Structure 1
Amino acid sequence: MRIKYLHTMVRVKDLEATQRFFALLGLKETRRWDNEGGRFTLVFMAPEGQEECPVELTYNWDGD
């Protein structure tokens, strides 16, 4: 049996600083979703060639 890694979600307080940190580890933004109704942003970052298993950065606009 083989286990497949899907993705990991990390809730962040400073989206730009967190993106810079993951960029230092070699991850790049693969997609982004700004949800005005829910007041949050999702940013997916992954190493090149491994876009199918990203780190999901969740930023709540109101700081919750």
Structure 2
Amino acid sequence: WFNVNMMQKDLLLAQELGRELDVPLSSVAIANELLTTARAMGLAQEDFAIMFEALARLSGVSTG
């Protein structure tokens, strides 16, 4: 089980390292924004695979 909060923590560490090494990590920044959105949807404690559900909700697609 690897929830949204843990995934976001790791992405923030990756972003920090990227800044220190002057390496742009735009895909990490985008993923981090999506994780922030998932947290706002109340999905913080779900396994990070819930990102598919979060993206579906954002796009108005029914997954059920």
Q: What TM bracket, shorter-length normalisation?
A: under 0.3
TM-score normalised by L of structure 2: 0.26
Query: Which one has a larger percent helix, Structure 1 or Structure 2?
Result: 2
Query: Which one has a larger percent strand, Structure 1 or Structure 2?
Result: 1
TM-score normalised by L of structure 1: 0.26
